[in-house]
Amino acid sequence: MSQDLFSPVQLGELSLNNRMVMAPMTRARATRDGFATDIMAKHYAQRASAGLVVTEGVYPSEQGKGYFNTPGIANDAQASSWQKVVEGVHQQDGKMVMQLMHCGRIAHPLNRKADLAIVAPSAIKPKASLFTHEGMKALLKPQALLTSEIQTVIDEYSLAAKSAMAIGFDGIELHCTSGYLPAQFLASNSNQRSDSYGGSTQCRCRFVLELIEALVGVVGSGRLGLRIGIGNTYNDHHDDNPAKTYQYLLKEINFFPLAYIHALVNGDFDGDTPAFIRNLSSHPIMLNDGYNKESANAAIKQGNADAVSFGRAFIANPDLVERFLDDFPLNVLNDKTLYQGGEKGYIDYPLIND
């Protein structure tokens, strides 16, 4: 049977109608207190024809919040606000997983509760800035997590995942790239610890592996995806030897039959990312970053990917699956409305039949 973007696929316990995935994309449409909104529910439901919808990054604890008007699942009220979102996708026969994103040192006090410490593997200030209610601000020096505090962070992730599954999400995706907390533990520039969570490759990978094990215990391995970016440098993320780090990590997570590995393909990495992962991993592979219909179909037919996720194309084209299927022209993305809030550029892109 020929496989392409429109053929069904099984990713762990996730049965997808097609291989087109809506990528996770921060859009700053939540309330300041981290509640999912009605327009978020409409936004995701509009795009439910994707084989799988991945939410924007959702903070698992108040300490994990980094950005302006991003959603959380750190308490019961925030969890309840997601009910209308996941139900809207399911009513359109879609599947939806929640991406858990702890920002770690990529945070600013103006974007969250000011009395919460900004934490990271090590007390190293990132060379980056963040948008706040008062404009762009340079990031601050974080506090290094104590060894005794790491289990608390893992427990917070587990509780968040349990809450997401309880309200009907089909699975969880762990955000482990783009310079956020799990990636901060992996990278040599942000992790300079001297305990059992830093130093060697094995120790720098320990937090991520313990976190995966904990999440598997909550949602099951077949409903957990992992997002990685080998050589990704976003948010002052740098590892001296990403090939060595991810070779160890990918081999170790083969012990957990995860639903998928969601990989960014564009990074500061000399190797062929899809081939590198395929040679090391026993998991289904989802690729992301810069694909169009033709290149995505080629990746699937060549065996480099089991699915492909699309970001900006899904923003501007709620019916992207139908447009690709019928070779219908795509709407043009309005960059100015990506993060400005409100309905414009969020739920008002026209459909084919409009």
Closest among 160, 134, 10 to 71, alpha carbons compared: 160
Q: Hey, how many other C-beta atoms are within 10 angstroms of the C-beta on 236?
A: 18
224, β-bridge pairs? 172
Q: Which backbone phi and psi does 340 adopt, to 5 degrees?
A: -80, -10
CA–CA separation, 225 and 221 (whole Å): 8
CA–CA separation, 106 and 44 (whole Å): 26
Radius of gyration of the chain (CA): 19
What are the CA-CA distances from residue 260 to residues 8, 19, 51, 137, 308 (Å)?
15, 12, 14, 35, 11
Give the active site residues. 180
- Cβ neighbors of 349 (< 8 A, separation 6 or more) are 315, 316, 317, 318, 331
CB 222 within 8 A of CB 13: yes
In one letter, which amino acid is 215? L
